[in-house]
Structure formats: structure tokens, C-alpha cells
Structure 1
Amino acid sequence: MLKKQLRVLLGLLVFSLLLVACSEDGEENTAPDESDAPIEETDDTTEDTEREPLDVNVSDEETVDASTVVLVINGEEVNGETYNDTYFNTKRYMMQNNQDVSDIELIKEQTLTTLKSYTLLRQDAGERGIEVTDQDVTDALDETKAQFESNEEYETALTQLAYTEESFKQSLEEQLLQQMYMDQVIETEAVTEEEITEFYGLLEEQLDDTPPLEEVRDQIVTQIEQSKMQQAFLAQIEELNEQAEIEQNI
């Protein structure tokens, strides 16, 4: 049972790497790959073997002095303590997704990109009056805990993913701010029949047994909407980045 609940927790814990993706150029694309294909949900009721806790080791070479000014973004200083925390989170995310973490420079660049993007997001959200309250975080935390049969299982999941409750709450706050920003700021055009038909046609090419369109229409619309929202969000962050004054010191 724990494995299924871990997937729920993972979905809430990790601050979206959309912010990291802001550093990558790419063409607009709402076409599905195999992982996007609508699938029939199954009820996983089998017991799962206990997984080993993530062992996220960060060497002295990978950290900076806590008082070092790593970035200055529109006059706001980002210090080494914040950098080190974000570096740890970035490395943990990569390990959760079985990515190679041997390239320290790559993790560093992803960490800096995330720091720049999130700081710009938070600054713009603040100017627009968008904020996450302590109650918002508490409610999200309670909702997450409710997914587990006991507090012990919840704490076990945190340990397995190398989180403390405080770092988990910080991740929740970041995700909540991103979602509020997307809900209140980002606008996209409605999904068209042409887009639905094109998406379904690509599914037919990729899947051996494609369900009838009407059975998966809602899923297709949701996936196209999410793709459009993500692309519009990335474009917004990129625009903020282009307008910002950023000084990088490492």
C-alpha cells in the first residue's frame, strides 16, 4: 500500500521542474509521447516491499558558504544557505527519478536556474498580491497526511524520500504559490476539435489498442490544457527573466 501513497506524496513534494525547464529552448508541442497516453486506472491493492530511504549525499565541494551572496535578482540577495537547500532538493529530485547525479556542474546549473525562476515568480506574485498563507500550507499538509492510513506511514514516506516535515512544508508552499500564480495570471486558449483529433491520431499511431475517442476525450482535453498551461507558464517566467537584473556570483 505504501508505494501507491508514496506516489501521492511525490506529486505534492517536488517543486515542479518547469522552473528548471525555463533554461531550455523548445518549440511548442502538445503532441503526446507514450507516457502521455490515456491509460485505464487500476486499483493497486497489492502490498509493496519497503523501499530503502534515499541517501542524498552532498559533499563540501557541492556546497557554498551559507553567507555567500550567490545571486542578486532585482536587488534581492539569494544567499548560500538558500542555494545549498535548493541544491539538495534538486539532487534529491534527480535521484527520485533515477537520473545520473555524478555531474556536479549540471546539478549546479539546474539549481541556479530554479533559484532564478522561483525568485522571479515569487517577486511577481508579490507585486500582484498573490501569496500563500500559513493556513494554506497547513490545509495542504493535512490533506496529504489524510492520504495515509496512519501518521507512522506518513513519516515513513517522508524518511524514504529524504524529507523532514519542515522541508516538506517548504516544498508545499512553493508548489502552492506556483499553482496560485498559474490559476490567476496565466491564460490559454480553449482546446479545439482540431487539436483533439490530432492528439487522438497520434495516440492511434503509438498504441496497439486505442480506446474509442469518446472514451478518452476528457483525458485528452485535460492533457492538452495542461500542456498549454505549462508552455504559457514557461513563457511568462522567461519574460520575467529577460526583464530582470540578475547578478550571478558563483
Structure 2
Amino acid sequence: MQQKTVLIAIVGILVVAVGVWFLSSNGEAPSQNGTPEFSETVARVNGEDITRTELENSEAQIAAQQGIDTASLDVAGKEQLQAQALDGLIANTLIQQAVVNSGITATEADVSAQIELIKGQFPDDAQFQEALSEQGLSESDFREQVKGEVAMQAYLEQTLDLASITVTDEEVNVLYEQESAVTEDTPPLEDVRGQIESFVIQQKQQELLAAHVQELRSNADIEILI
């Protein structure tokens, strides 16, 4: 259960980091009124376009997450932000394509369960509906997005054999000692063991994911057009 919870976080990080709330079948991100926006192609991954609109949305979300004031960035900073956003979009596209090619799909039961989990994070249904409206999404759009994320989660679990990840006592002890050396009043090890184990699992999952994306990139036809 702990590994699955961490994996959901990893998938969420991946999707949010690349600035994609929902990708329609033509690969365009919806505008605020739900109508797809079309703009110049900035990259092409195995024949699938990544647009300027998607790139700008991704940059904005990364900046918001990291507390970056884009207006204060110099040329080098803007180029770095753009490169980070584009790398994320390419990685996301590669994984989405790999999921489709694998034939792995999400069951309706799993999709419904994940939607209920997400709805539970809102005080009431009205605020959930408001959040959808702010993103320009209908409930059917949202369900399709969740369906894709659940399928991605299943793909990563199977392809990367995430269930085999383990954490040793030595790894826990090393991290605990490192934290104790720089933090006063560190809680007893047994009080934070679970947090440390989750952190180590997340690190290992991120490393596996990064290696998998690199493998997908090495076999992909990627054109950068900016």
C-alpha cells in the first residue's frame, strides 16, 4: 500500500510538472472555455505534435509550483524554464505513447475509485465542479484524464517492477543520521521510520522512471522545432 501511494504521487508529479491537466485525442490542451487552442508546433515526438500553447501552460505551472516570478527572469532563466517544461512534455508524451503501445488500459472500476478519491479532497461537490469549470473541463473530460493516469500508473507498476523496490535498515539509518546531524531535536528513529522509507521508495521510483524515459528517448524520433 505504501509503494502504491508513493507511485500515485510520482505519477501526479509527472503529469503536473509537464503542465498537462488534460490532453485531448489530438494532443492539444483545452483552453479555459473548453475549446482546444491550436498554435505552432514546438516539438514532435514520434509524429505527435507538442504545441506552443502546451509549452507555455507547462512553463506557467512549473513557475507556480516553484514560486518563480517569470517577469524577473533573465534570458538564461527563461531558457532554463522553457527547457525544463519541454523536457517534461516530451517525457510525458513518450510515456503516454508507451502506455498505448503496451495495450494496458484502466478498468472502469479503478477509474471510478480514483475519481471518488479525488472528489474526497474537496469539501463538497460544488467546489469540485467549480474546479472542473476553472480548468475548462466537463466531467467526461475529467474522467478521460483520470483514465489515462490510472493506465499510466498500471503501466509503470508493471514495466518498472515497482513492487520489488525495498528499503534496507542501512539506508534508513544513513538518512536518519544525516538529518540528525543538521537538525536539532530530531524525533526518535522509530517515530519517523515510515517517512524515511517512503522517501527512499520515492527516490528509487524516480530513478527508475528517469532511466525508463531515457530509454524511450533513445529509441524515439524527436524533433525540437524552437
Query: Shorter-chain TM-score category?
Result: 0.5 to 0.7
Given that residues 94 and 213 in structure 2 are in contact (C-alpha distance below 8 angstroms), is that contact kept between their aligned partners in structure 1? yes
Distance 1:222 1:157 in 2: 29
The reply to whether residue 84 of structure 1 matches residue 57 of structure 2 is: no
The reply to whether residue 131 of structure 1 matches residue 105 of structure 2 is: yes
Q: Which residue of 1 aligns with 2:120?
A: 146
Question: Could you say what secondary structure the match of 2:15 adopts?
Answer: coil
Paired residues for 1:1-250 under 5 Å: 15-17=15-17, 66=38, 68-74=40-46, 76-80=47-51, 83-102=52-71, 103=73, 104-132=78-106, 136-157=110-131, 163-166=135-138, 172-173=146-147, 175-187=149-161, 189-250=165-226
Shift of 1:107: 4.1
Given that residues 15 and 171 in structure 1 are in contact (C-alpha distance below 8 angstroms), is that contact kept between their aligned partners in structure 2? no
One-letter amino acid matched to 1:164: G
Q: Deviations over 1:117-142 (max 9, x none)?
A: 11111122222222346665444333
Q: Please, which runs of 5 or more residues in structure 1 have no aligned partner?
A: 1-10, 21-57, 59-64
Shift of 1:157: 4.8
Q: Deviations over 1:169-214 (max 9, x none)?
A: 5664554344223211113642112111101101211321112112
Question: Could you say what secondary structure the match of 1:164 adopts?
Answer: coil
Given that residues 87 and 107 in structure 1 are in contact (C-alpha distance below 8 angstroms), is that contact kept between their aligned partners in structure 2? no
Moved more, 186-195 or 235-244: 186-195
Higher relative contact order (CA 8 A, sep 6+): 1
One-letter amino acid matched to 1:70: V
Evaluate the alpha carbon distance shift between residue 112 and residue 89 of structure 1 in structure 2; reply closer, same or farther with a 3 A threshold.
Answer: closer
Question: Could you say what secondary structure the match of 1:15 adopts?
Answer: helix
Given that residues 14 and 88 in structure 2 are in contact (C-alpha distance below 8 angstroms), is that contact kept between their aligned partners in structure 1? no
Distance 1:192 1:171 in 2: 36
Given that residues 104 and 154 in structure 2 are in contact (C-alpha distance below 8 angstroms), is that contact kept between their aligned partners in structure 1? yes
Shift of 1:95: 1.7
Report the identity percentage.
27
Shift of 1:224: 0.6
Shift of 1:155: 3.8
Moved more, 174-183 or 207-216: 174-183
Q: Please, which runs of 5 or more residues in structure 2 have no aligned partner?
A: 1-10, 20-30, 32-36
More helix by share: 2
Distance 1:216 1:79 in 2: 42
Distance 1:237 1:184 in 2: 15
Question: Could you say what secondary structure the match of 2:121 adopts?
Answer: coil
Normalising by structure 2, what TM-score?
0.68
One-letter amino acid matched to 2:221: E
In the alignment of these two chains, the number of paired residues is 191
Evaluate the alpha carbon distance shift between residue 99 and residue 227 of structure 1 in structure 2; reply closer, same or farther with a 3 A threshold.
Answer: same
Distance 2:132 2:86 in 1: 25
Normalising by structure 1, what TM-score?
0.62
Shift of 1:94: 2.0
